[in-house]
């Protein structure tokens, strides 16, 4: 069983409500993600450097 088989990494982004509707029809989807573009690519090792800025 492919746990991530429902994802279409090259598809158009859909919001969660539309995505749930499409999933009920067994369609593959690409949901909007807060932390990444959700392409399921390998992560990057943290550089160990931080950058901070003052927001006016």
Query: Could you tell me what percent of the chain has a pLDDT over 90?
Result: 18
Over residues 30-55, mean pLDDT: 68
If you ran DSSP here, which 8-state letter would residue 43 be given? Answer: P
Residues 6 or more apart from 38 whose CB is under 8 A from it?
7, 9, 30, 31, 32
pLDDT class of 47 with cuts at 50, 70, 90: low
pLDDT above 90 (res 24) = yes
């Amino acid at each position: 069983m492919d746990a991530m088989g429902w994802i279409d990494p090259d598809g158009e982004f859909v919001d969660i409500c539309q995505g749930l509707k499409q999933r009920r029809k067994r369609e593959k989807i690409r949901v909007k993600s807060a932390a990444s573009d959700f392409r399921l690519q390998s992560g990057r090792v943290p550089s160990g450097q931080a950058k901070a800025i003052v927001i006016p």
